[in-house]
């Protein structure tokens, strides 16, 4: 069994065929999907998708690129949402200086709130980080020392130094379709140097489709394509890599029940 640890099933890209998308994922062996809410005003919609489809769970937070234009959820808001049985993570939160360096202060304010919510709920924090390696490493190190929390570096495509910092804190790195791209050898090398027990796989659908779908809409079924490359990176069979990353997912996202076939 595989898990798509990060997708966006509420996005308009899937509106016309969501049942078919979920069914294709299951047919491809994807037993669990976590759909991520990036704007607080979309929480109800994302929650409804998780309630509608048995294999789908959700996380909720405020994406850094939306932090300047959305009301920030409070710690209490996030804790309250987390009482739902299918909410399994906080975020996607973090820093993105590639597009919006000018909103740095607002991003950091929102990020701090979501870190505290992860501490209080015990749910993993789902981090988006782009072109912000130094600040991200400093914040994670300082905040974890102030009070531990669990975390996955979603769609990890940063440098080796940030990977080392995250791993030293006990965090996880998530492998997306980026790792399948021809020019991503440096990123593949970073993953190869990471402990296998700290690696997850994801699609970030509808973005970052792996070959042969690159440039088209991504969907959870295609996590198998990324996992096949991950298996090569670690010198493993696809079956062994799937088993290992699924176990990693359940260790981090402990609120998600195992599927019956995986329970043994």
DSSP string, 153-222: ETT--S-HHHHHHHHHTT-EEEE-GGGGSTT-HHHHHHHHTS-GGGEEE---BTS-PPTTSTTS---GGG
Which tokens belong to 147?
């009070």
Q: For position 45, what pLDDT does the model report? A: 97
The model carries a pTM of: 0.96
Please give the order of strands across the beta sheet that includes 87-96.
Answer: 2-7, 30-37, 56-60, 87-96, 125-130, 151-153, 172-175, 199-201
Q: For position 263, what pLDDT does the model report? A: 42
- Alpha carbons 15 and 146: distance in angstroms, whole number: 42
- Alpha carbons 135 and 129: distance in angstroms, whole number: 10
The strand pairing partners of 94, in sequence order, are: 128
The domain ranges of the chain are 2-263
Q: What is the pLDDT along the chain (264 residues), one digit of tens a residue?
A: 999 999 999 999 999 999 999 999 999 999 999 999 999 999 999 999 999 999 999 999 999 999 999 999 999 999 999 999 999 999 999 999 999 999 999 999 999 999 999 999 999 999 999 999 999 999 999 999 999 999 999 999 999 999 999 999 999 999 999 999 999 999 999 999 999 999 999 999 999 999 999 999 999 999 999 999 999 999 999 999 999 999 999 999 999 999 875 443
Question: Using CB atoms within 10 A of its CB, is residue 235 exposed (0-12), middle (13-18) or buried (19+)?
Answer: exposed
Fold of the domain spanning 2-263:
TIM Barrel (3.20.20)
Q: Chain centroid to CA 68: how far?
A: 22
Using the 8-state DSSP alphabet, how is residue 43 labeled? H
């Amino acid at each position: 069994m595989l898990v798509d640890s990060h997708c966006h099933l509420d996005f308009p890209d899937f509106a016309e065929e969501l049942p078919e998308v979920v069914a294709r994922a299951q047919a491809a062996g994807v037993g669990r999907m976590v759909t991520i809410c990036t704007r607080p005003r979309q929480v109800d919609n994302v929650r409804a998708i998780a309630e509608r489809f048995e294999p789908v769970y959700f996380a909720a937070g405020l994406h850094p690129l939306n932090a300047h234009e959305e009301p920030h959820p409070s710690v209490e808001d996030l804790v309250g949402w987390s009482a739902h049985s299918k909410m399994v993570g906080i975020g996607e939160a973090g820093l993105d200086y590639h597009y919006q360096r000018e909103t740095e202060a607002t991003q950091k304010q929102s990020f701090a709130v979501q870190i505290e919510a992860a501490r209080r709920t015990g749910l993993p924090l789902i981090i988006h980080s782009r072109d912000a390696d130094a600040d991200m490493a400093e914040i994670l190190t300082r905040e974890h020392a102030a009070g531990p929390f669990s975390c996955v570096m979603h769609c990890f495509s940063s440098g080796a130094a940030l990977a080392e910092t995250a791993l030293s804190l006990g965090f996880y790195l998530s492998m997306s379709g980026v790792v399948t791209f021809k020019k991503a050898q440096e990123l593949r090398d970073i993953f190869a140097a990471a402990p296998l027990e700290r690696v997850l796989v994801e699609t970030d659908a509808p973005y970052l489709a792996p070959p042969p779908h690159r440039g088209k809409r991504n969907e959870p079924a295609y996590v198998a394509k990324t996992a096949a490359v991950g298996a090569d990176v670690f010198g493993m069979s696809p079956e062994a890599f799937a088993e290992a990353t699924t176990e990693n997912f359940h260790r981090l996202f402990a609120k998600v029940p195992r599927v019956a076939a995986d329970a043994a």
